[in-house]
Homo-oligomer: A and B are copies of this chain.
Amino acid sequence: MEEQIINLLRNTWKTQTNAVSEYFSKNADDFYSQEIAPGRNKATYILGHLIATNDGLLPLLGFGDKLYPELDQYFTPNTPWHYDEFPPVAELKAKWDTLNQYLEKQFDTLTPGQWLERHTKVSPEDFALDPKRNKLNVFIGRTNHTSYHLGQLNILKN
């Protein structure tokens, strides 16, 4: 039964991830340099932020280093950044696709029991006190994080 539920969750992840890919496939790259609303983030910023965030799943779930640590300077919260230094949209789209394919392969390796093990940022002692701090919970949270920003992207009519 737990395998069935994890498959539902992985499908939901894919649906949200694919919806982001589709959003960025509808228009010429220039379109996505627009702000989603006056004075708010550009669509490209949100894409970069989603890459940097989901890339962080690799170390957090114990799969190794980030693929694109060079993006952190632009796209993780509380780092100073300037729009004119942004990586080009085409580069971000390619990294988004490569990251997603790579993550799927890593996710495939986990058994249901392993999904429920602690993630790498919680100590065994803290995990014993709060077993919700497992890999699957991080995955569920990141899926909702993608949905959150997808809602914002769709403010900019595509």
Complex CA–CA separation, A40 to B87 (angstroms): 29
Complex CA–CA separation, A20 to B140 (angstroms): 18
Which stretch (A52-60, A101-109, A142-150) binds chain B?
A142-150
Shortest A138–chain B CB gap in Å is 10
Cβ contact of A151, chosen from B2, B5, B147, cutoff 8 A: B147
User: Is the C-beta of A76 less than 8 angstroms from some C-beta in chain B?
Assistant: no
Shortest A145–chain B CB gap in Å is 7
User: Is the C-beta of A152 less than 8 angstroms from some C-beta in chain B?
Assistant: yes
Shortest A119–chain B CB gap in Å is 13
Shortest A53–chain B CB gap in Å is 13
Complex CA–CA separation, A37 to B34 (angstroms): 14
Q: Contact flags (1/0) for A28-69 with B, using CB distance below 8 Å?
A: 000000001110100000000000000000000000000000
In the A-B complex, list the 9 residue pairs whose CB atoms are closest, starting with the nearest. A37-B37, A148-B151, A151-B151, A147-B147, A144-B147, A1-B2, A151-B152, A147-B148, A2-B2
Residues of B within 8 A of A147 (CB): 144-145, 147-148, 151
